[in-house]
Amino acid sequence: MHATTNGIDRNRLAELFLTETRVFVDKHPRSAELASASGSLVAGVPMPWMRRWPGPFPLTVDEAHGGRFVDVDGHEYVDLCLGDTGAMTGHAHPAVLAAVAAQLARGATTMLPSRDAPVVGDELARRFGLPKWQFALSATDANRFVLRFARELTGRRKVLVHDWCYHGTVDETLVVALADGRTASRPGAIGPQVNPELTTAVVPFNDIAAVERAVAKGDIACMLIEPALTNIGIVLPDPGYHERLRDVLDRHDVLLIVDETHTICAGPGGCTREWGLRPDMFVIGKTIGSGVPVAAYGMTAAVAERIEAMQRDEGIDVSGVGGTLAGNAVSLAAVRATLEHALQPGDFSHSNRLAEAWARGVHDAFSAHGLPWSVQRLGCRAEYWFCAPPRTGAAAAAAVDHDLDAFMHLWALNRGILLTPFHNMALFTPFHGNADVDAHTAVFASALEALLPG
Ligand SMILES: Cc1ncc(COP(=O)(O)O)c(C=O)c1O
C-alpha cells in the first residue's frame, strides 16, 4: 500500500516528477548552458527567488510581450505568473514603452518634480479615494515609510499585522504568531530580526476578537493589512470582517494601512473601492509602473496635514523616508501611462472573465476525479488548493503541499504554461484570451490523468 496525501499516491508523484525533470532538462539546453555560465552570480541567479522554480535550473527569458514570453531555447509560454503581479498590465505595454522611452530621452532623474507628478497624484486620488500621495521605488519601501509615519504620528511603537502576511522584506512584518499568540520571526527568514515581539503584534486573519485584544493594550500605532491575503494563497475576508475591523481600530485610534500591491487584481480601485474600505494610509507597488520600479503611498487629508506640518519643521530629518531615485521622472512617466492606458474597467471585465473560466476549468477537472480540492478567485487572480478554502494564514500555510505544487508547476511549464511560484496561482492580463484558459484547463486535466490513471 503506497502513501497517499491530498488524494495523490506519493510514489507515483515522485516517479512522474523525475520524468518531468528529464523532459525539462532535454527541452532547455540553452537555459542550462546560461545557468552553468552564471558562476559570478550568487547561486547562479541575480535575485534569490529566481531559484524557486521547479526545474533544476531557471529558464532564461529572451523576451516577453502581453501575456506571453519566449525563452532562449525558443519555446513560447502563456505567462500566468506575470512577474508575480509586476506585469499584470501585460509585458511591454505599448503606451508605457512609449512614455518611458520619451522620458528617458529627456532625463531620468533630477531630485526635482517632473510635469507628470501632479497628474499622477490626481489620478491616484480619483481611483483610490485618498487625496494625498508620495512615491517610493518598491512596495517594500513604501510599507517601511508608512510604518515610520504611523509611529511618528501616534507616538506608539508597535505594528499590528495578520499572521502569515507578506508586505515585502520589512522586518516588522516578516512574522508569524506562535501557538500562544506571541510574535516570532517568519520561519526561514534570513538573518531573523532582533526580537520582533518588540515591534509587532500578530493576529489571525478573520479574527476580530484577536484584533480587539491586541489594540486594547494601547501600544499599537497602526494595522497594516492586505484586504485579502494573497501571499500564502488567496484567503478571503469573512462577510463583515472589514467593517468590524475599521470600527475596532477607530475606537482605539489605530491607523489602518491597506496594502493593495496584489489586491489591485480586484478592480481598477482595488479592494478599497470594490469593498468600500476606509484606510488612513494606502500602499501600492508593482503593477502601477507596468514593470518599471515604482510604488505609491496615499493618505487621508487628516494624516497628510500632520505629515506636512512635520516636514516643514527643519528639526525633522528626512532620513528613513524617500530615497534618491524615489519619484524619479521615468517611474512617474510609467505610472501616468499605466493609469491612463491600463487597469481600466474594460481591462478588468476581460481578465476577470478569464480568471473565472480558469477557475471553472480547474474545478470541473478535479471534481471529475472526486478530489475534495477547491479554487478561490479575487478579480483576475485565481488559485487552486488541495483542500477546502482556508480562512486564516496559518491554515493556508499548513495546507501547502510542496511536492504536489512542484509537480503541477513543472508539468504545466513543460507544456507551455507558467504558474506563479510559491503557490498554484494564475493571474490574467487583458492580453490573454480564451485559448490560454483552455490550454491550461487541458494541461491541468492531463496532470490529473497522469496522477490518477484509470
Ligand atoms: C502585498 C505586498 N506588499 C508588498 C510587497 C513587496 O513588493 P516588492 O517586493 O516589489 O517591494 C509584496 C510582494 O510580493 C506584496 O505582495
Residue 422 pLDDT: 82
Give the Å distance between the CA of 165 and the centre of ligand 1. Answer: 10
Give the Å distance between the CA of 230 and the centre of ligand 1. Answer: 10
**Beta carbon of 331 within 6 Å of any ligand 1 atom:** no
**Contacting residues for 419 by C-beta, under 8 A, at least 6 apart:** 80, 81, 408, 409, 412, 413, 425, 426
Give the Å distance between the CA of 287 and the centre of ligand 1. Answer: 10
Residue 1 pLDDT: 53
Residue 36 identity: S
Task: Note whether 139 and 261 are within 8 A (CB).
Answer: yes
Q: What is the pLDDT of residues 198-256, one digit of tens each?
A: 999 999 999 999 999 999 999 999 999 999 999 999 999 999 999 999 999 999 999 99
C-alpha atoms less than 13 angstroms from C-alpha of 255 in its C-beta half-sphere: 29
**Beta carbon of 261 within 6 Å of any ligand 1 atom:** yes
**Beta carbon of 421 within 6 Å of any ligand 1 atom:** no
Residue 37 pLDDT: 93
**Beta carbon of 139 within 6 Å of any ligand 1 atom:** yes
**Beta carbon of 259 within 6 Å of any ligand 1 atom:** yes
Cell match 486564516: residue? Answer: 392
**Beta carbon of 260 within 6 Å of any ligand 1 atom:** no
**Contacting residues for 91 by C-beta, under 8 A, at least 6 apart:** 64, 65, 66, 67, 68, 69, 79, 82, 291
Give the Å distance between the CA of 408 and the centre of ligand 1. Answer: 24
Which residues in the chain come in under a pLDDT of 50?
none
**Beta carbon of 167 within 6 Å of any ligand 1 atom:** yes
Task: Note whether 385 and 375 are within 8 A (CB).
Answer: yes
**Contacting residues for 240 by C-beta, under 8 A, at least 6 apart:** none
Pairing of strands 200-203, 8-9: unpaired
C-alpha atoms less than 13 angstroms from C-alpha of 187 in its C-beta half-sphere: 7
Q: Ligand 1: which of 84, 261, 284 to mutate, judged by most atoms within 8 Å of the beta carbon?
A: 261
**Shortest-distance atom of ligand 1 to CA 85:** 14
Which backbone phi and psi does 234 adopt, to 5 degrees?
Answer: -80, 120
Give the Å distance between the CA of 8 and the centre of ligand 1. Answer: 33
Task: Note whether 185 and 174 are within 8 A (CB).
Answer: yes
Task: Note whether 317 and 152 are within 8 A (CB).
Answer: no
**Beta carbon of 227 within 6 Å of any ligand 1 atom:** no
Q: Ligand 1: which of 140, 186, 427 to mutate, judged by most atoms within 8 Å of the beta carbon?
A: 140
Task: Note whether 100 and 446 are within 8 A (CB).
Answer: no
Residue 315 pLDDT: 75
Residue 316 pLDDT: 74
How many of the other CB atoms lie within 10 Å of CB of 58? 21
Model pTM above 0.95: yes
* Strand (E) or helix (H) holding 426: strand 425-427
Cα–Cα nearest to 307, from 439, 87, 154: 154
Residue 136 identity: A
**Contacting residues for 425 by C-beta, under 8 A, at least 6 apart:** 80, 81, 233, 234, 381, 382, 383, 419
Q: What is the pLDDT of residues 282-338, one digit of tens each?
A: 999 999 999 999 999 999 999 999 999 888 877 777 778 989 999 999 999 999 999
Contacts 24+ apart (CB under 8 A), 183-189: none
Residue 192 pLDDT: 84
Give the separation between CA 202 and CA 186, rounded to whole angstroms: 11
Residue 313 pLDDT: 77
**Beta carbon of 231 within 6 Å of any ligand 1 atom:** yes
Give the closest residue (by CA) to ligand 1 atom 9: 168
**Shortest-distance atom of ligand 1 to CA 260:** 1
